[in-house]
Chain A
Amino acid sequence: MVNGPGREIAVVATARTAVHESFEGPEAVLVMECVNDLLGRTGLDRRDVDFTIAGSCDYLAGAPFAFVLNLDGVGAWPPVYESHVEMDGAWAFHEAWLRLQCGDVDTALVIGSGRSSPGRPREVLALQTDPYTMAPLGLDPVSLAGLQARALIDAGKATERDLAEVAARARPGSGAGELLRAPYWSAPLRRHDVARPADGAAAVLLAAGDRARRLTGDPVWVRGVDQRIESHHLGLRDLTDSPSARLAAEGAGAHDGPLDVAELMALHSHEEIILRAALGLAGTTVVNPSGGALRSHPAMATGLVRVIEVARRIAAGEAERGLAHASSGPCLQHNLVAVLEGDR
């Protein structure tokens, strides 16, 4: 079974790089920028960090063991206690939160980083599909997202205008009417309905209990984190719903109190509509005030950035309680939810 909350863990500092369409330097430099920022902000020495965990993806760089070079950005000398998930940094955040609950480490550095620019993301991401039956067809996540958006519209759960309104909120200065005149990209999705993978990094410093209170006057407590996956086979799923997001929200305790803000990692406009319903977000919850992943998508950091956006709003006193969501895989196959709360 999944047991209740353990030791109190808080986000004590956050960092993120600018998001580059094409960053010319190595990924380790993006990582280093975040790590130095966090250490500077908290006054910690590298040696004060008990545990480090990063999320990244070899395939974006097109090189095996690409993540090894990111250790240079962590500054792993003297040696560090660390681990790595081949996933978005949001999943590294989940493992770090569990690690801190074991009680023997008090601080954890969580990193997410990625560079999409070296490759052609649609072709690269097609390799996320079943290698025997789907990948040889070149079925990529944007095409699959088009199928999901079509299913949503056919089920009467959304219209093309609803999609355009989601996209318009992510693009200040644009209106739904104008966006609806754009040509299709992967029908019924238009270019602006699809997040554009970019290069960037993000990082979070977590600390437990009193250590968190000593490190910052504005700890943002992580009340729950959960993540769930669905079948890879689209024929086995109701594409107009996201049961895994719902389960993750329940597991994270999302509905134990009102949610002032939610940052959802929707890489396609229609996903925000599915997620709002599956997560049961009330009309009073402000969704994606940052503009979300449609505005900025530093792959493998995008999910962790959702955590950072919510944590920053809570630390600034703009919200008391919030939900951060990350997704992975085609058609929202895998979803993570974290619930954050202020100290006020």
Chain B
Amino acid sequence: MARACAVIGIGQTDYRKRLEVTLDGLVRWAALEALEDAGLTFADIDAVLIGKAPDLLEGVMAPELTLAGALGAVGKPIHRVHTAGSVGAATAISGVTMIQSGRYDRVLVVCYEKQSEGNATWALSGGKSGGQGAGGTFAPWIRDYIRRSGAPEHIGRRVAVKDRLNALRNPHAHLRIQDISEEKVKASPMLWDPLRYLESCPSSDGAAAVVLASGDAARRSRGVPAWVIAHAKRSELASFPGRDPVRPRAGVECAEALYAEAGITDPLRQIDCAELYVPFSWYEPMWLEGHLITPEGEGWRLTDSGATELGGAFPVNPSGGVLSSNPIGASGLVRCLEAARQVRGTAGGHQVDGARVALGHAYGGAAQYFAMWIVGSEPDPAFG
């Protein structure tokens, strides 16, 4: 089997509108912070990987070309991953496979989005005005989830408040709404029924980076390792009559493959916390079910019980999640690196006490691309 891989350095910018910094400056910020965390410099890096969502968001085609200098990649291999919203997690996984291949010992993975450089809504609508946007795509499926599961309507608001309260503990978070409440969410404008303004993610600029290392390189490093225990990716077609976008088969199979590789048989009990890609509030209960963390129809009950709050039995998005910061191309890597921070015990104000095993997750496209990893404080934890 493939050799061990660990996260030994983590860097991220603040997520907000960053008009004071160039694209080069933004990615370099995250990269340098990750290197410093690992006790390394660019000279120690064997290969660089970048990930981001569509080039049209910033209007720069093939940005690995313009960013090579800022990322210390000159003279090195670099490649660019793009798998829609799942790209951040997919890029992390591509980086892990570069280490596991045995060919590289230290790989720098950087993901970013700088939405203020362009017009993301225009770009996400295929360069046409009046597009439905991501919320318009997901809202009918969310309505279908509510109908099937019988979830009460306050569940979405509850997730929105929980993630925004968590964001107040995370200095990188974009949305910092001090007086957030379910009443305030309910009073916000309806965007795509049943999704209100405050149940939706923001548009953020930001970059995130991790340094990945082989087991030997990790043990020699100053950086505290978060061991990559398992990873999985699955993709399915966007649209055909038999597809179930509420519970996509690719998501179920991705989770099955992930847990099997990790040796996890009871994810709710054996995983200590999760960073799930939840750009719209209702995706928390949908993914709790769709990724086999709870039985079908039980995801909203777990949310309603308070178990997914920081301090609950299964904290979800202690960092504040995508609902609080969404630099699209980076958001999946942020989920993965926040899971790593938890098991390293370096999550600061949003640390989950005693977290040893954490899940990082992202999805993309028409809820058809899935990428996940499980990281742990030990390379080979025993799941009792």
Task: Point out residues on A near B: beta carbons under 8 Å.
Answer: 1-3, 6, 57-59, 62-65, 67-69, 71-72, 76-87, 91, 94-95, 98-99, 101-104, 124-125, 127-132, 135, 226-233, 236, 243-244, 247, 251, 328-330, 333-334
Contacts and interface: CB of A to CB of B under 8 A. Distances in A.
Given A63-B126, A79-B236, A231-B74, A87 B22 contact: no
A229 B365 contact: no
Most buried by B among A76, A86, A95: A86
Contacts of B57: 64
A243 B238 contact: no
B159 interface: no
A79 B234 contact: yes
B191 to A, nearest CB: 20
Contact of A131 (B2, B46, B117): B117
B330 interface: no
A61 B47 CA distance: 29
B64 A334 contact: yes
A83 B55 contact: no
Contact of A72 (B59, B102, B237): B237
Given A95-B97, A229-B74, A229-B76, A62 B235 contact: no
11 contacts: A2-B103, A62-B127, A79-B248, A98-B97, A128-B62, A229-B75, A229-B78, A231-B68, A232-B68, A244-B75, A328-B62
A230 B74 contact: yes
Interface string B94-113: 10011011111100000000
A86 B80 contact: yes
B249 interface: yes
Contacts of B123: 64
Nearest to A78: B249
A58 B54 contact: yes
B365 A65 contact: yes
Contacts of A62: 127
Contacts of B236: 71, 76-80
Contact of B69 (A79, A228, A231, A328): A231
Contact of A79 (B78, B82, B253): B253
Given A59-B61, A71-B235, 20 more contacts: A6-B101, A6-B102, A64-B57, A64-B127, A71-B238, A76-B235, A79-B249, A81-B257, A85-B80, A86-B80, A98-B101, A98-B103, A101-B103, A131-B59, A135-B60, A233-B69, A328-B62, A329-B65, A334-B68, A334-B78
Contacts of A244: 75
A2 B46 contact: yes
Contacts of B233: 81-83
By CB atoms of chain B within 10 A, which of A72, A98, A329 has the most?
Answer: A98
A63 B234 contact: no
B62 A65 contact: no
Interface in B21-60: 22-23, 46-47, 53-60
Nearest to A243: B75
B7 interface: no
Nearest to A336: B77
A95 B219 CA distance: 26
Contacts of A101: 101-103
B256 to A, nearest CB: 11
A124 B109 CA distance: 27
Given A84-B83, A229-B76, A79 B250 contact: yes
B346 interface: no
Nearest to A6: B102
B76 A228 contact: yes
A102 B101 contact: yes
Contacts of B253: 78-79
Interface in B338-384: 365-366, 368
Contacts of A228: 75-77
Contact of A127 (B61, B124, B126, B368): B61
B246 interface: no
Nearest to B125: A64
A79 B250 CA distance: 5
Contact of B240 (A77, A91, A232): A77
A223 to B, nearest CB: 13
B184 interface: no
A64 B56 CA distance: 6
Q: Give me the 5 closest cross-chain CB pairs, A-B, nearest first.
A: A64-B54, A79-B250, A86-B82, A101-B101, A102-B2
A3 B126 CA distance: 42
A83 B83 contact: yes
Contacts of A76: 235-237
Contacts of B64: 87, 229, 334
Contacts of B97: 95, 98-99, 102
Contacts of A84: 81-83
Contact of B65 (A78, A95, A333): A333
B368 to A, nearest CB: 8
Contacts of B83: 83-84
Contacts of B55: 57-59, 64, 86, 127
B66 A232 contact: yes
A64, A69, A99 interface centre (most CB from chain B within 10 Å):
A64
Given A79-B249, A99-B101, A329-B65, A85 B81 contact: yes
A128 B68 CA distance: 12
B46 A1 contact: yes
Interface string B248-273: 11100110010000000000000000
A3 B104 contact: yes
Contacts of A80: 234-236
A131 B66 CA distance: 8
B54 to A, nearest CB: 3
Given A64-B126, A83-B233, A102 B82 contact: no
Given A58-B55, A65-B84, A71-B235, A229 B100 contact: no
B68 A230 contact: yes
A128 B58 CA distance: 11
Contacts of A81: 232-235, 257
